[in-house]
Structure 1
Amino acid sequence: MEQQATDIIVATRAALMQASALAVQYSFSILGALVLLLLGWFLSRLMHRWALSGLSHVRGIDMTLAHFFANILRYAVLVLVFVTVLGQFGVQTASIIAALGAAGLAIGLALQGTLQNIAAGIMLLVLRPFRVGEYIETKEVSGTITEVGLFATELKSSDGLYRLAPNSTLWNTPVTNYSRERTRKHDLKVNIPSDRDIDDEIDRLLAIAREDPMIESVPPPKVYVDSLEESSAVLMLRYWVSTPKWFKTTREMNRRVRIAFGQQLTPNGPEPDAAPAE
């Protein structure tokens, strides 16, 4: 019995000495890991602020895109710090990096459509084919842009409806932007009976256009004979208007020409279902 008690005491002492050695050994690793985590946390926040501040001063960079890249930089620093901390405890970081890569590949394949929208959103924010407040039209959607995000773009239709379009649909299709250019052209056709003098009618149309202060003087309004019929001629009045005033000015010109000539105007093709803000 005495021999067994002695063996137990010796084994207990050995275990305590081994535990003490391990505690001393890993205490420095734990302390170093905590220091690395704190430094990494502050460094990631510092890099985030630095990247956000730098990108915000770059001309043409949207703030949504600036926040996106700043967050990517921040999380990249945090992942690097985490892998370094694991290395402090003897963990094989190469296998962790390989596992993270495999997980990233699996997630990428699972979220292929979402990543496609993100890539399209980045391209839309960088190239800016449209901005907030501009009216656009595509084959599938039309409306005024209210927000361009990384996943989707929000629009408001001319009749006040909310629309959400995935960025990939806007990036992979032709887009007509009715608000981008400073001025817009408008063609107005008028039927002139054959018994009237064409030159006099041309002068009348030009006078109406020149009297309107909203119509651009450069390039000046022009009138020409668009086509000839058996009993009439079709005159075309072409003028340019400031884009924000286009809708109001063209409607007012339709009214004034209708009153002056006392006849129905010739249709001039489809027009966008939008009234830009005055």
Structure 2
Amino acid sequence: MNQLNSLQDDLMPYIIEYGLELIGAVLILIAGLLTAKWVGKRIERYMNKSERFDDTIIPIFVKAGKILIIAVTVLAVLNKFGVETASLIAVLGTIGLAIGLALQGTLSNIASGIMLLILRPFNVGDAVDIGSTSGVVDEIGLFVTEMHTFDNIAITMPNSKVWGTEIKNYSRNDKRRVDMEFGIAYDDDMDKAMNIVREVLDSDDRILDEPEPLIAVSSLGDSAVGIRVRPWTETANVWPLRYALTKRIKERFDEEDISFPFPQRDVHLFQENG
């Protein structure tokens, strides 16, 4: 009995010490899990309020925030039990580096996809030029961007290629300029031709008053006087307006005897006397 009491006396300090360590570790773990949940909700609430973040990317940031807090919590718990966390972090860093090198192409696509979803150089449904590829955006994913050309050919582009090249967005601005060029003969009246163009523009309600349309003589070519026409319209009207103006101006020029010259060459033949 005395030996049992002596053993209890010897073990009691260790039981108290490690019991307190265990309780402290459990409290740290609970606090870490609660903090991770709170941080996740805060991130989700903030990103939902902002129009810059896509719904696709919000869960990724929420999960990343939670994982970061939980990882710090686990390291704190291990450190509470005397585990050397510095060496563990070094090992995990080495493993992460090896995985990153093996998947650098995939990770590059993910990073580019995140940048596309955050900065939004284009949205689904926008007409764009991405490098030498033109089309309409169908989907922006973490790995690839889906789009189709204007003649409805499906295209899948890696996000790293999309982010690393020039992007032209034809749909972003609410109004655009329609650039057109017409050539008339040197014998035709330039002022008359320009007035005809102005009448055609004034009769179309799709053309905006501001900025004011430009109608000007732009060039003196080999066989024609160039007239530059630049009206402004809402983005959705650009191509229908271009087609309509081209047809209507041609009809009015025909009615008013304004000609569209074509390149021609005079050939002179000389006969030598034998």
Once the two structures are overlaid, the 10-residue window that deviates more, 183-192 or 27-36, is 27-36
One of 83, 88, 93 as aligned partner of 2:85: 93
In the other structure, the counterpart of 1:169 is 161
1:250 aligned to which of 239, 242, 245: 242
Deviation at 1:102?
Answer: 1.3
Query: Would you say 1:110 and 2:81 are equivalent positions?
Result: no
Shift of 1:151: 2.8
Residue aligning to 1:79 = 71
What does the per-residue CA deviation read over 1:96-155, in whole Å, with 9 as the maximum and x for residues that have no partner? 212111111112222222222233333333433222322110234322223333333222
1:259 alignment partner, one of 251, 256, 264: 251
Name the aligned partner's letter for residue 244 of structure 2. E
TM-score (ref. length: structure 2): 0.77
Partner amino acid for 1:159?
D
Count of matched residue pairs: 253
Structure 1 counterpart of 2:60, from 59, 68, 93:
68
* 1:154 and 2:146 matched: yes
Equivalent position of 1:142 in the other structure: 134
In structure 2, C-alpha distance between the alignment counterparts of 1:226 and 1:248, rounded to whole Å:
24
Query: Which runs of no fewer than 5 residues in structure 2 stay unpaired?
Result: 1-9, 263-274
Change (3 A) 1:230 1:126: closer
TM-score scaled by structure 1? Answer: 0.76
Q: What RMSD in Å do the two structures reach over aligned CA positions? A: 3.4
- CA contact 1:258–1:265 (8 Å) conserved in 2: no
Shift of the 155–232 alpha-carbon distance from structure 1 to 2, 3 Å rule, reads closer
Counterpart of 1:41 (choices 21, 33, 37) is: 33
Stretch deviating more after TM superposition (158-167 or 28-37): 28-37
Question: Residue 224 of structure 2 contacts residue 261 of structure 2 at CA under 8 Å; is this kept in 1?
Answer: no
Alignment partner of 2:111 out of 94, 119, 142: 119
Q: Which runs of 4+ in 1 moved over 4 A?
A: 18-39, 263-266
